[in-house]
Amino acid sequence: MAVNTFPQLSNDNDKVALVEVDQSYSYGTVNERIDRFASGLLAGEQDLEEERIAFFIPASLDYVTVLHGVWRAGGIAVPLNVASAVAELDHYLSCASVTRMIANSEYHEALSELCASLNIELVSVDQVLADSVGALPKIDETRRAMMLFTSGTTNKPKGVVSTHKTIKAQITTLIDAWEWSENDVIPLFLPLHHIHGIINILSCGLWAGATVHLFSKFDIPRITEQVTSGTYNVFMAVPTIYVKLIQYFDSTDPATVRAICDGFAEMRLNISGSAACPVKLFKQWQDLTGQVLLERYGMTEIGMGISNPYHGERRAGCVGQALPGVEVQLFDEYDSPITEEALAGEIRIKGENVFLEYWDNPKATSESFKDGWFCTGDVAVWEDGFYRIMGRSSVDIIKSGGYKLSALEIEGVLLTHDDIAEVAVIGVPDDTWGEAVTAFIGLKPGASLEYEDLKTWCEGRMSSYKIPKHIKLVDALPRNAMGKVTKPALKELV
């Protein structure tokens, strides 16, 4: 694949590719604009030669123009989170050695001082767009194409570099597994600095010739209105979004809720990812809409690696099997493959979907691979044909009293308590236990909870050694842009 050319992006394709508010754009219109932007970036040069170009743009035609324009001109696209703080942006831009920043004009005042301090040229899309299309380079698919940053839930975010070939593999495995087609219509409201929004929704949609509705944020009234009218047949979100929808239903009149749920029921696919989907939420959504959520597993470095099946059983609390073209193996702490069921091990991945390198960090890159396998740092078990994620080895596996405990498993049980709205479980250093199971709990409005009452409630619902030794009530759990709890921040609250 040269220049990351998506098969449906051609000047003579009149099908609607993007919908932004009340404006529709055909594949042909989008393609011509991408070519003009790429030509403007080149400004007479033959090839950007992997220049890092960052962009600070919400979901829009401009975002798609910049992403694909950078690819076609031979640059490395560095999409940024428009909700990032200046200190975070400083880290990303410095780490990537960015030379140009593309941003909507309304952001220029906020970004100008930072860009000036880093000697980065700050421009808008309109300033770059050429009047006509010039010669564009032919680019080998093994060249670097995109740099995303790790979520930073366990340490300082690293720049994850993918090639054009990597991106193609990440897209096509999902096109195959989830049966994407040009008939699909999907809303995109997730942040576009992350695999979930960029690959799973936007790129799969455009590759398949589908129509993607762009939202700068999760706008419940607008989106549910479209759901009710039958606009969408595919819906992808993080668990937090499904929770927000259920909360919205609780405060909305029953007839409206029924119409929305009927709209979801008519869809061909609802997917949950980017954080573990609690079994309680899985069952709630099924009861409300009839939709059996398809949960999958992925990360910045691999795109998606494991997925529940499109056809067949989708098991609550599990992420399914390896995707087409992806090899998955569990390894024990001695780097030996695990062949028995129900034994926990680290997930390791092989395949063309795996990233090339951490930018300017050969040590971290080398340490993340063993014998050709990418070491995810996530722990899972294989149970009766399905992988079940136990958590992140560094924060979700608690070593307490000689046991290895899954924080996610304990959280799943606690979430079934009538008074608990959200919970995160971590291990806190303890002289007696090694690590003491500690639960940070956000209560439902008007609720109260004492430790002894919770302990009594837990008895019979989980083994005694899994019951939290301490609880801490919080107004809200700290989360990143994808709704994933940042557990290191919790340790600072102990």
Boundaries of domain holding 483: 397-491
Residue 236 lies in a domain: no
Q: Return the percentage of the chain with pLDDT > 90, whole number.
A: 85
Both structure tokens of 87: 């200190």
The confidence score (pLDDT) of residue 227 equals 99
At 449-467, the pLDDT tens digits run 999 999 999 998 988 889 9
At 200-257, the pLDDT tens digits run 999 999 999 999 999 999 999 999 999 999 999 999 999 889 999 999 999 999 999 9
Residue 374 has, within 13 A of its CA and on its CB side, a CA count of 23
Residue 3 lies in a domain: no
Residue 385 lies in a domain: no
Residue 77 lies in a domain: no
The set of residues, in sequence order, having a beta carbon less than 8 Å from that of 170 and lying 6+ positions away, is: 162, 195, 199, 203, 302, 303, 304, 353
Residue 393: which region, alpha, beta or left (left: phi > 0; alpha: psi -120 to 50)? alpha
Which range is least confidently modeled, 326-330, 352-356, 388-392, 402-406?
402-406
Confidence check: pLDDT of 306 > 80: yes
The confidence score (pLDDT) of residue 159 equals 97
DSSP 409-453: HHHHHHTTSTTEEEEEEEEEEETTTEEEEEEEEEEPTT----HHH
Q: What are phi and psi of 425, to 5 degrees?
A: -115, 135
What letter would DSSP give residue 265? H
Q: How far apart are CA 338 and CA 330, in angstroms?
A: 5
Residue 1 pLDDT level (bands cut at 50, 70, 90): very low
Residue 33 pLDDT level (bands cut at 50, 70, 90): very high
Q: How far apart are CA 97 and CA 76, in angstroms?
A: 11
Residue 40 lies in a domain: no
Mean pLDDT across 51-65: 99
The set of residues, in sequence order, having a beta carbon less than 8 Å from that of 333 and lying 6+ positions away, is: none
Displacement of CA 466 from its chain's centroid (Å) = 29
Confidence check: pLDDT of 3 > 80: no
At 134-174, the pLDDT tens digits run 999 999 999 999 999 987 655 678 999 999 999 999 999 99
Q: How far apart are CA 189 and CA 174, in angstroms?
A: 19
* Residue 470 DSSP SS3: strand
Q: How far apart are CA 49 and CA 214, in angstroms?
A: 30
DSSP 365-385: HHHTEETTEEEEEEEEEEETT
| CATH code for the domain in which residue 471 is found | 3.30.300.30
Mean pLDDT score of the chain, rounded to an integer?
95
At 418-438, the pLDDT tens digits run 999 999 999 999 888 889 999
Both structure tokens of 143: 């060249």
Displacement of CA 123 from its chain's centroid (Å) = 28
- Tokens 């055909």 -> residue: 26
The structural domain count of the chain equals: 1
Residue 292 lies in a domain: no
Both structure tokens of 411: 């959280």
Mean pLDDT across 88-105: 96
Residue 419 lies in a domain: yes
Mean pLDDT across 34-43: 98
**Best CA proximity match to 415, nearest among 281, 261, 251:** 281
Both structure tokens of 485: 């709890």
The confidence score (pLDDT) of residue 482 equals 78
Q: How far apart are CA 373 and CA 325, in angstroms?
A: 14
The set of residues, in sequence order, having a beta carbon less than 8 Å from that of 383 and lying 6+ positions away, is: 318, 341, 342
Residue 476 lies in a domain: yes
The set of residues, in sequence order, having a beta carbon less than 8 Å from that of 431 and lying 6+ positions away, is: none
